A and B are shown apart, each in its own frame.
Chain A
Amino acid sequence: MLSDLGTLFINGALLTSFSIIYFSFKELKISNNLVPKKIYKLSLFQLFFTISSFFVLLLAYIFSDFTLVNVYENSHTNKPLFYKISGTWGNHEGSLLLWINILVLFSSLFLFINKNRDKKFKILTLLFQNLLIIIFLVFLLSNSNPFSKLFPVPLEGLGLNPILQDPALAIHPPLLYVGFVGSSIYFSAALAALISKIDSQSLAISIKPWVLVSWFFQTVGILVGSIWAYYELGWGGFWFWDPVENSSLMPWFVMTALLHSILVLERRIGLYSWVIVLSILTFTMSVSGTFLVRSGILNSVHTFASDPSRGLFILSFLILMVFSSIFIFFKFAPNENKKYTIFSKESFIIANNWFMIFFLAVVLIGTLYPVFLDTITGSKISVGPPYYNLVLAPFLIPLLFLMTSGPNYKWVSNEAKSFFNIVLLLSIVFFIITFFIIEENSFLLNLILFFSIYLITQTLFDFYESSKKKNINISRIISHLGFGLLIFFIYVNHIFSIENNFNLKLGETKKMDNYTIKFNNLEQQSVKNYKSIVGYFNILDKKTSKSEELNPEIRIYDKPITITYEASIKSGLFSDTYLTMSNISDTDIFNIKFQVKPFMNFIWFSVLLLSSGGILNFFNRKKYEKN
């Protein structure tokens, strides 16, 4: 029943998309400035159909309707309701449906919000967006239909991979998709802008809210993913430069670049073509990321079940998308011959873009190089965290410096403030204090720390300065402060982290320099969908003589049978204590991994701060436009 209903809705959505394209084409020939009601209605119908199809799938998951192959493969009646719901998008087919929902939602929102824009621009955007929607609907129906039927109907499902049964991971994909797929709307708008030749300011104003929203969600999505990795994967790290993580970071770099460039475009100073290139590139990177993850050409800790036929489809789509964009760009791009003054705000923004594109290039090279090398020469190498740290870290220094000084320059002119000032002096003092606390010898690390402190002090100072005047660009200050703090805490965390691996038996005690760990008890528990072995540990901090109880677990899930190692984390304001245990096969010895991770909460908070700048700007948008 639900399966048929779902398929019906999907076909309805496909039909309305085709009609929208048909009527849009017809409208292009009519030269008035009124988008007919018909198109608005069709768009609403399309929205209704796609959202309904998603709800049907959701219902199928909630009621465990195993007539659907997708529900059978990814769910189980014993699963908690929350994970039944999140199971809807926790697999390839369901996530594709979610992806289409966002495409459609953004398409209709764009149409309704931009009522006063140029008609041709609007219609063309709609046209491109609906082409994307159709392509993905066809992909869904032909290759990855979540509503495929199963006969005979099984009584029980196979269950969801337990590693995915986690609150953070349940909300992680939707967040990330709003970011990634949200970028489709400015991809379409950019192409439409080229053809309809709208002026730079209209383009900037019409895509800015979408860039801000998608950037915000992308940032929060990445944050939630990191938090999940920290809690769930049990390694104590939060970023592994894993291909899947990289593919969420790559669009982020482009979005960040775009976010800054739009500021220039808004003021009609230039960068028209560049903004268009970035808009196209963002969605291209999103699709490429999806391709890399879903096609299985990369191996990663968080791979979805991959399938080459999916890969081929996404690759074909990517090729079509890239080449048509290149074609449209070179056919319609206006000739720009703007010269920029060095030491003006816009040159700093261009410099920001240059760094972002460089970061993108490094991550892209690091991710793809091993794949290409393997394909061309057959030799296999791995590119891991050391590569990225080594290549990227030095470039943080000039980036931090540009972020510190850039915002205080004026548009167009090259009026400069004096270089040595009270802020720099203060930063040096702060740095010297930090230096004596951390006792770190690495020159590079110290430089990064210094420049992050400089950025933090300068932004705080800017905040103080501008709060005296009325014209506060609070969103910039918050985001830059967030970034400065993020870099600062990541490196302090890196310096102060303690990690210790050892083997222990029940009842034994391990003594370390500053800590004593006692293995008190071992208990077996049976929970709804898994059995678990819980270890009871007592950790004594010799310095503060504070003692903590930590209970890491080894979980054995039954559907499907999987063993996971659950870290036990005591999260304090300034420092987390992190313990994982695993049994060594055929013995009663346990391998214990003990870690002290300072400032983890500060790292999460910094990213929140960084992202909240984006959303603040979204809500304050109108105010700036008037200024």
Chain B
Amino acid sequence: MKKINYILISILFSILFIILYFSLGNQRVYDTKDLIGKKISEVEINLFQSSGTINTKEFIKNEFTIINFWASWCGPCRKEHPNLVRLSKIKNLKIIGINFKDDKENAKSFLKENGNPFDILTEDKDGKNSVNFGVYGIPETILIDSELKILKKYIGPLNIKEVNEIRKIVKK
């Protein structure tokens, strides 16, 4: 009995420690792994230029769509902008920009200065719509297919590696 207890307890602790060891390198921060493969919700987004709206349902028409949250006041957005411009040259990929809690004039001059990669420009004035896309800080970029399924979600500015990754996915 004593021996069995001894072995059982030793095994239990060994398992505990092994898991703890593997937990060490793991960063316990939020990521979006859980969202991949889910459909984005069908919501209305306000257009930037006119007073109309566009429904995300309409993205079915596109083979691939990128939804990018940005603002003129956000530093990292400035950094990723050239990469969006690069992506805008891909034919079967449409880019939807959502201008997030921004001043309209600032946003306009931002695009004038850095180029406008967006096929459709929309806005999220009070930031509430961002919740529908699971956005928690900008810039964020969501890549969806024609079934509105999320293929990739990037938090933070897109880098060139990620641009190439998107290129690869879209080419298939």
- Chain A residues with CB under 8 Å of chain B are 291, 295-299, 308, 311-312, 315, 318-319, 322-323, 326, 330, 370-372, 374-376, 378-380
Task: List the B side residues contacting A380 at CB < 8 Å.
Answer: 28, 30-31, 33-34
Having A315-B17, A371-B23, A379-B34, one finds 15 other A-B pairs with CB under 8 Å, namely A295-B24, A296-B28, A311-B24, A312-B24, A322-B17, A323-B10, A326-B6, A330-B5, A370-B28, A374-B23, A375-B26, A378-B33, A379-B33, A380-B28, A380-B31
Task: List the B side residues contacting A378 at CB < 8 Å.
Answer: 33
Q: Is B172 an interface residue (CB 8 A)?
A: no
Contact of B28 among A291, A297, A311, A318 (CB under 8 A): A297
Determine whether the beta carbon of A297 is less than 8 Å from that of B23: yes
Determine whether the beta carbon of B19 is less than 8 Å from that of A330: no
Given A319-B17, A376-B19, A297 contacting B2 (CB threshold 8 A): no
Please list the 10 inter-chain residue pairs (A to B) with the smallest Cβ-Cβ separation, ordered nearest first.
A330-B6, A375-B23, A297-B23, A299-B28, A371-B23, A375-B22, A311-B24, A319-B17, A308-B24, A372-B19
Determine whether the beta carbon of B10 is less than 8 Å from that of A374: no
Kindly report which residue of chain A lies nearest to residue B30, judged by CB atoms. Answer: A380
In the complex, 6 of the A-B residue pairs with CB atoms within 8 angstroms, ordered by the A residue number, are: A297-B23, A298-B28, A308-B25, A315-B20, A371-B20, A375-B19
Task: List the A side residues contacting B6 at CB < 8 Å.
Answer: 326, 330
Task: List the B side residues contacting A376 at CB < 8 Å.
Answer: 19
Contact of A315 among B10, B21, B29 (CB under 8 A): B21
Kindly report which residue of chain A lies nearest to residue B9, judged by CB atoms. Answer: A326
Task: List the B side residues contacting A297 at CB < 8 Å.
Answer: 20, 23-24, 26, 28
Contact of B23 among A323, A330, A372 (CB under 8 A): A372
Task: List the A side residues contacting B136 at CB < 8 Å.
Answer: none
Determine whether the beta carbon of B34 is less than 8 Å from that of A330: no
Report the Cα distance A315→B22, complex, angstroms.
11
Task: List the A side residues contacting B33 at CB < 8 Å.
Answer: 378-380
Determine whether the beta carbon of B29 is less than 8 Å from that of A299: yes
Report the Cα distance A322→B18, complex, angstroms.
13
Number of A-B residue pairs at CB separation under 8 A:
55
Task: List the A side residues contacting B26 at CB < 8 Å.
Answer: 297, 371, 374-375
- Chain B residues with CB under 8 Å of chain A are 2, 5-6, 9-10, 13, 17, 19-26, 28-31, 33-34
Task: List the B side residues contacting A326 at CB < 8 Å.
Answer: 6, 9-10, 13
Task: List the A side residues contacting B23 at CB < 8 Å.
Answer: 297, 371-372, 374-375
What distance in Å separates the Cβ of B17 from its nearest Cβ neighbour in chain A? 5
What distance in Å separates the Cβ of A58 from its nearest Cβ neighbour in chain B? 33
Task: List the B side residues contacting A379 at CB < 8 Å.
Answer: 33-34
Report the Cα distance A326→B30, complex, angstroms.
37
Report the Cα distance A326→B3, complex, angstroms.
12
Given A315-B20, A315-B21, A371 contacting B28 (CB threshold 8 A): yes
Interface-central residue, B20, B25, B29, by most chain A CB under 10 Å? B20
Report the Cα distance A297→B5, complex, angstroms.
30
What distance in Å separates the Cβ of A525 from its nearest Cβ neighbour in chain B? 28
Task: List the B side residues contacting A296 at CB < 8 Å.
Answer: 28
Task: List the A side residues contacting B5 at CB < 8 Å.
Answer: 330
Interface-central residue, A370, A375, A379, by most chain B CB under 10 Å? A375
Contact of A322 among B13, B22, B29, B34 (CB under 8 A): B13
Report the Cα distance A378→B20, complex, angstroms.
14
Report the Cα distance A378→B23, complex, angstroms.
11
Task: List the A side residues contacting B21 at CB < 8 Å.
Answer: 315
Kindly report which residue of chain B lies nearest to residue A297, judged by CB atoms. Answer: B23
What distance in Å separates the Cβ of B99 from its nearest Cβ neighbour in chain A? 15
Given A326-B9, A380-B30, A380-B34, A315 contacting B24 (CB threshold 8 A): yes
Report the Cα distance A296→B25, complex, angstroms.
9
Report the Cα distance A318→B9, complex, angstroms.
15
Report the Cα distance A15→B130, complex, angstroms.
61
What distance in Å separates the Cβ of B153 from its nearest Cβ neighbour in chain A? 14
Report the Cα distance A239→B9, complex, angstroms.
33
What distance in Å separates the Cβ of A229 from its nearest Cβ neighbour in chain B? 21
Report the Cα distance A121→B44, complex, angstroms.
76
Kindly report which residue of chain A lies nearest to residue B33, judged by CB atoms. Answer: A378
Report the Cα distance A106→B163, complex, angstroms.
60
Task: List the B side residues contacting A319 at CB < 8 Å.
Answer: 17
Determine whether the beta carbon of A330 is less than 8 Å from that of B2: yes
Kindly report which residue of chain B lies nearest to residue A322, judged by CB atoms. Answer: B13
Contact of A374 among B2, B13, B17, B28 (CB under 8 A): B28
Report the Cα distance A311→B26, complex, angstroms.
12
What distance in Å separates the Cβ of A194 from its nearest Cβ neighbour in chain B? 14
Report the Cα distance A500→B13, complex, angstroms.
47
What distance in Å separates the Cβ of B4 from its nearest Cβ neighbour in chain A? 11
Kindly report which residue of chain B lies nearest to residue A288, judged by CB atoms. Answer: B20
Task: List the B side residues contacting A295 at CB < 8 Å.
Answer: 24
What distance in Å separates the Cβ of B96 from its nearest Cβ neighbour in chain A? 25
Report the Cα distance A318→B16, complex, angstroms.
11
What distance in Å separates the Cβ of B25 from its nearest Cβ neighbour in chain A? 6
Report the Cα distance A450→B40, complex, angstroms.
50
Kindly report which residue of chain A lies nearest to residue B27, judged by CB atoms. Answer: A296
What distance in Å separates the Cβ of B136 from its nearest Cβ neighbour in chain A? 14
Task: List the A side residues contacting B29 at CB < 8 Å.
Answer: 299
Determine whether the beta carbon of B24 is less than 8 Å from that of A318: no
Interface-central residue, B17, B25, B28, by most chain A CB under 10 Å? B28
Kindly report which residue of chain A lies nearest to residue B2, judged by CB atoms. Answer: A330
Kindly report which residue of chain A lies nearest to residue B22, judged by CB atoms. Answer: A375
What distance in Å separates the Cβ of A242 from its nearest Cβ neighbour in chain B? 13
Task: List the A side residues contacting B2 at CB < 8 Å.
Answer: 330
What distance in Å separates the Cβ of A312 from its nearest Cβ neighbour in chain B? 6
Report the Cα distance A496→B87, complex, angstroms.
57
Task: List the B side residues contacting A330 at CB < 8 Å.
Answer: 2, 5-6
Task: List the B side residues contacting A308 at CB < 8 Å.
Answer: 24-25
Task: List the B side residues contacting A322 at CB < 8 Å.
Answer: 13, 17
What distance in Å separates the Cβ of B138 from its nearest Cβ neighbour in chain A? 13
Task: List the B side residues contacting A298 at CB < 8 Å.
Answer: 28
Given A330-B2, A379-B34, A318 contacting B17 (CB threshold 8 A): yes
Task: List the B side residues contacting A318 at CB < 8 Å.
Answer: 17
Kindly report which residue of chain B lies nearest to residue A291, judged by CB atoms. Answer: B20
Report the Cα distance A371→B27, complex, angstroms.
10
Task: List the B side residues contacting A370 at CB < 8 Å.
Answer: 28
